[in-house]
Amino acid sequence: MDLAEQNSDETMQWAAITGVIATVSVFAIAQGLSYPLLSFILQRQGVSPAMIGLSAAMTPVGFIVSSPLIPALARRFGAGRTALTCAALSAIMLALIGWTQNVYLWFPLRFLIGVVTNPLYVLSEIWVIALAPPARRGRVMGIYSTVISAGFAAGPLCLLAVGTEGWPPFLVGIAAFVFCGACLALVLGRLPKVEEAGHQVSVMRFMPMAWLLLSAVVVAAGFEQAVLALLPVYGAHYSIEETRMSALLSMMIAGNIAMQVPLGLLAERLTARLVRFICVSLTVLGCVLLPALIETPLIWPCVFVWGAVSYGIYTMSIIELGERFTGSALVAGNAAFSLMWGVGGIAVPPLAGGAMDILGANGLPITLGAICLALALTTVIRRRIV
């Protein structure tokens, strides 16, 4: 292969990466918009907070149920066709949600939107991992994580422009899913046929192969969901006003968005495993410092770093997944990551909330610090054994 052909191949590779990341960014905006939108609508209907929470939980339940099916769907229909179909079905499901406007009908519909959006997310992530040059995988996955986080954060901002009443916000979400499918269709011919490579590996068979990585995903997901749900409750214990707590959460999300690329570059210089251990250790430190700093100005840089390193646990896990696995094992691994993200998001917030009932407000940092410390210790012990 001459230099011109090599440069052409590299250009096409980066074009494909850009196309997939654009696809995921639009998908993230649609998802980020739908969560607060549906909560606002239910709140106006007089639905109880507990029922609103149960309704929102249907989407991660859909993630969990659909994750084991993704490798088989990719093999049977092809990854590209599966992702395009899921983009179309996501738009249809969101339209049905907008049409029904009924809390009880939303339970199965929100479950189904979790089922059909999950393969789109998982397969897009697989393509980015497979396309990323090994020497630059850290920065590529850092950009990917940044775009995902920024997309989710931008979703609620769309509601400021279109409001939360009537069809306009639903039409924005539907259009986003349609545009997501269009972006994907443009680069589909350049995407690797990951579902055809290697021997077939199921999600269940994959789990023993990378149980520590999957444990890290549970911790990252549980931490994020617990903090988003319970940090305002923690602040109320210290009589901190809601606006300040909302601003602290925004600062935490800003750290998440701003620092994934620097963490990815650091993983290229060191290793993803080492940077993940550093992220876990700093997350534990943040849990220790939270009670001491919550009423001081130092809490602002603390939560910025906290947000960066806590999500960095997931980013580093994804990078290591791409370093260790290819083909059908990579497909199964990403599906397992999605399943574990759902498990962590459902299991840890109630655990932390129960700890707060028993131990008071500090049950939150104690619980989150304990699970992160357990992950750090397990990492060290496993490294010594290996």
Tens of pLDDT, residue by residue over 25-36, are 887 888 778 877
Provide the mean pLDDT of the chain.
Answer: 86
**What is the percent of the chain where pLDDT is above 70?**
94
Is 333 among the domain residues?
yes
For the domain that residue 292 is a member of, what is the CATH number? Answer: 1.20.1250.20
Q: Given pLDDT bands bounded at 50, 70 and 90, which one contains residue 98?
A: very high
Q: What is the arithmetic mean of pLDDT over 251-260?
A: 89
Q: Does residue 69 sit in the same domain as residue 193?
A: yes
Within a domain: 7: no
Query: Looking at the domain assignment, is residue 2 inside a domain?
Result: no
Q: Are 193 and 78 within one domain?
A: yes
The mean pLDDT value for 231-259 works out to: 84
Do 19 and 140 lie in one domain? The reply is yes
- Binned at pLDDT 50, 70 and 90, residue 9 comes out as low
Same domain, 170 and 78: yes
Q: Are residues 48 and 176 in the same domain?
A: yes
| b/e 204-227 (16+ beta carbons within 10 angstroms → b) | eebbeebeebbbbbbbbbbbbbbb
**Helix axis angle, 211-237 to 272-293, nearest 10°:** 20
Residue 192 resides in a domain = yes
Q: Count the domains in the chain.
A: 2
In a domain, 368, yes or no: yes
**Lowest-pLDDT choice from 222-236, 274-288, 366-380:** 222-236
Q: Which of 166, 198, 230 is the last residue of a domain?
A: 198
Please indicate, yes or no, whether residues 310 and 167 belong to a single structural domain of this protein: no
Nearest Cα neighbor of 17 from 152, 186, 236, 168 is 186
134 and 246 within one domain: no
Is position 1 within any domain?
no
pLDDT tens by residue, 365-382: 999 999 999 999 999 887
Residues 135 and 112 grouped into a single domain? yes
Does one domain contain both 279 and 173?
A: no
**3-state secondary structure string, 192-239?**
CCHHHCCCCCCHHHHHHHCHHHHHHHHHHHHHHHHHHHHHHHHHHHCC
Residues 140 and 207 in one domain: no
Give the pLDDT score at 384. 60
More confident call, 258 vs 196: 258
Q: What percent of the chain has pLDDT over 90?
A: 33
Choosing from 198, 225, 256, the residue where a domain stops is 198
| 158 and 219 belong to one structural domain | no
Q: Are residues 176 and 224 both part of a single domain?
A: no
Q: Within a domain: residue 6?
A: no
Note the pLDDT tens digit of each residue in 127-138. 888 888 888 888
Where a domain ends, among 179, 198, 217? 198
User: What pLDDT sits at residue 348?
Assistant: 87
| Range of the structural domain that residue 191 is part of | 12-198
Over residues 45-54, the pLDDT tens digits come to 887 766 776 7
Tell me which residue of 87, 115, 263 sits closest to 175, measured CA to CA.
Answer: 87
Question: Per the domain annotation, does 64 fall within a domain?
Answer: yes
